[in-house]
């Protein structure tokens, strides 16, 4: 199985973190869309796992949710649950 080079992975993740769309990231880096989506899913699952392990016993007084408008949370949550 082919593996994306580390510098390419860094470029893809950096672009996505900066808010660049998936299609634009593909054009900028020359990486296939399915590869970008797989990398995004893998990094998202790793971040969720890290967060679940490290963030404990928070005493929250106020909680603020910001609506993205692109996709409701439950749809994304269901998608990740199906993929896992």
Residue 22, in any domain of the structure: yes
* pLDDT score of 59: 87
Residue 1, in any domain of the structure: no
Q: Which residue has the tokens 């970008």?
A: 36
- Give the domain extent around 53: 6-83
Task: Say how many domains are in the chain.
Answer: 1
Percent of the chain whose pLDDT exceeds 90: 56
Residue 39, in any domain of the structure: yes
User: pLDDT-derived band of residue 31, with 50, 70 and 90 as boundaries?
Assistant: very high
User: pLDDT-derived band of residue 28, with 50, 70 and 90 as boundaries?
Assistant: very high
pTM, whole model, 2 decimals?
0.65
Give the pLDDT confidence of 4-19 residue by residue, as tens digits. 999 999 999 999 999 9
What are the tokens at 51?
A: 């967060």
């Amino acid at each position: 199985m082919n593996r994306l080079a580390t510098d390419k992975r860094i470029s893809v993740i950096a672009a996505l973190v900066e808010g660049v769309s998936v299609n634009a990231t593909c054009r900028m880096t020359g990486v296939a869309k399915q590869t970008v989506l797989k990398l995004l899913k893998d990094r998202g699952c790793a971040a969720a796992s890290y967060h679940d392990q490290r963030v404990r016993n928070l005493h929250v007084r106020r909680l603020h949710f910001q609506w993205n408008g692109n996709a409701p949370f439950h749809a994304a949550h269901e998608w990740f649950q199906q993929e896992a």
